[in-house]
Structure 1
Amino acid sequence: MARIRLACVALFLAIAAGCTEVVTGTGSMDTRPQPPLTSAAALGDIATVDFCSLVDRAVIDKVSGVAEIDVSMDRCQVTVSKNGVPMVLVVGEPMDGETRDSMPTSPHQVADLPAGITVAKFEEEDMCGREIVFADQMRLRVNVALAEPDGRNLEYRTRHMCEVADAALETALKMVRGGTALHFEYGDRSYSTLAACDMIPASAVAIALDAQRVSTKRYPTGHECEWDRDSARALFAFMLRPLSLDVPPDAIEETIAGRRSYVLPDGLTIGSGCEVFTVNLRGPRPGLTEGAAVYVELFEPGQDDRACTIARGLAGAAFAKLPPV
């Protein structure tokens, strides 16, 4: 599914230090079995994780050139280039058993994993991915895709994508082992405290998509909600966006639910799509704002206008529930 365009921000790095008491006597290594590692034990509150803190730019640079790092609430997106081929690395997108997609995976062998952690892999013609699976079945995705798929030299490109994915997996696992993920500190009026699925009733989505009912995916952070039917789907998401990021030139500025909003037809070659977004709040760090967006995808081509009409209606329902500016 087309994903919401994400914003760009510089990484904020921090180092935590501790101390250990020295005890006189004969030391011995603790050989007791470690409890299976859950996502909460490794990462803390999954809803506030800065997923860019799981990315070590220096390690990624060893296998590819990092051009840009973008952060949002539920993912870190890194634009890289290897041998002249532009790729997009995404780290994060936590999923549980209810929201994991149907993409087939197989075991991926990694040495010295913490107790309860496994790694799965999935590879397609224009994508190479890894999933860190915690003991509580929460999954974190490490995914690399071609920025501009064109069908050429796919075997060669897949190999390079997997090299980048494995480098990113290495750094993410290092942070998981050490429990050193950083967290955003959101304000009291932050969108992050809202539940995306509560912003638009499923019944309203079903009517908008001309369906008797829709299936609903409640993503574990609460920041995204997805509704599906056979021939269409809709997504509502909270996001982060840099103040410096320009609005796309083809976006149409409108006022929706009393808020400055932007309507952006997707121009898909397969199917039709439209995004409506608004940006109003300061973000958890200087230079960042929070925003909310609706994305509608219709599987029939040439229907961008209809997709935008549906997206406007859903955005009106959701934006009206946002905290006052």
Structure 2
Amino acid sequence: MYPRLKALAVAMLCALLAACANTQAAPEPSSGPTPLTSSAALGDFATVDYCSLLDVPAVAPGAVASPTFETCQARLGARTILVGPLAFDSDPNIRPYAYPGPVPDGVAVQQSMFNDRTACTRAITFADGNRLDLSVSDTSDDQAARCGVADAAVGSVLGVVTANKVGRLKFPERSWGLVAPCALLDTHDLDDAAGADSRPATGLSGHSCIRGKVSFKLTVETDEDARPAETVGGREARLRTAGAFCLIDTTQPAPGLPGRRELAEISVVETAGTANDATCAHARAAAASIFPRLPHA
């Protein structure tokens, strides 16, 4: 019996080995395109150099591009191209349209009907719902020309993000780009202006914050300001009203950017209608609390 058992065992082993030899590994499931989110496209929102998204020689030859903390502004004569800021709120003016270029998976390019007699505005909405606004404005009546430039700018942005070539801002010591704005709003000094039960909520870029009726943003100014100045919180400040808002700002020389100035702006909204003296009193009180805590260049 033993020789038979041995032969049977050998036969079974050979059969198993043959079966293993003929067995192929199951193919791995094919992975489709990954929807492009804003964080995958742009990385750290707080350090995006928005001017790196705009191929100025191709889109607007001769334009001069200037980055802020949240945008890029390129100017050529009366025409201005603005890339940014990032937004996550809904905009009822945004509508679908037939963008003529390629679009990454999960991304939608839309148009805005707001102010469409002097500006052509596009919205690049990523798979996570965050969008990058882009506009071209000038004084002409040629909307088709403006929108041609806007579509070229959209193509530049999409080309940069899909090639992983987004540039980064570097903030020198004592730059306001390093300041956490919500930390400056989180104080009882602002209870009257913002509302005692309100809590700070940071913006997408990390350079702005809202607490109740008070908003605070840090950026680089793009226009000279000729408004009369006053002293608030130990700094030279300028106040203005715009509809329901009273705004007050101060500036300092931008470290590392000769000829440019960083800007800190506080706004208080009047929920009952147009901004008034009481609204501006709250804005001044907020500035008196916040401005002294900003670093000096």
Q: TM-score range by the shorter chain?
A: 0.7 to 0.9
2:53 paired residue number: 54
211, 226, 247: which one aligns with 1:274:
247
Task: Tell me the equivalent position of 1:139.
Answer: 131
Taking structure 1 as reference, are residues 160 and 251 closer, same or farther at Cα in structure 2, changes over 3 Å only?
Answer: farther
- The alignment-based identity, stated in percent, is 27
The runs of 5 or more residues in structure 2 that have no matched partner are 1-29
Trace 1:139-288 onto structure 2 (pairs within 5 A): 139-145=131-137, 156-201=141-186, 207-208=192-193, 218-227=202-211, 234-241=214-221, 246=224, 248-254=225-231, 256-258=232-234, 260-266=235-241, 268=242, 270-271=243-244, 273-279=246-252, 282-288=254-260
Equivalent position SS for 1:124: coil
C-alpha distance in structure 2 between counterparts of 1:76 and 1:186, whole Å: 16
AA aligned to 1:124 is: F
- CA displacement at 1:51 relative to structure 2: 0.6
Please state whether the residue corresponding to 1:249 is helix, strand or coil.
coil
What per-residue deviation string (whole Å, max 9, x for no partner) do you get for residues 115-156 of structure 1?
A: 232222222344432122223333211123457xxxxx9xx5
Q: What secondary structure does 1:197 align onto? A: helix
**Which one of the candidate residues 95, 113, 128 is aligned to 2:103?**
113
- Which among 77, 101, 113 is matched to residue 123 of structure 1? 113
Bigger share in helix: 2
Any conservation in 2 of the 1:277–1:294 contact (CA below 8 Å)?
Answer: no
2:292 corresponds to 1:323: no
The CA RMSD measured in Å over matched residues stands at: 3.4
* Aligned mates of 1:195, 1:261 — CA distance in 2: 21
Alpha-carbon distance, 1:253 to partner: 3.7
State the Cα deviation string for residues 172-202 of structure 1 (Å, max 9, x = none). Answer: 1121121112111113443323322231248
Partner AA of 1:174 in structure 2: G
Deviation per residue, 1:54-109 (Å, 9 max, x gap): 122223336xx74x53321001123355xxxx45432121123xxx2433423344
Rg larger for: 2
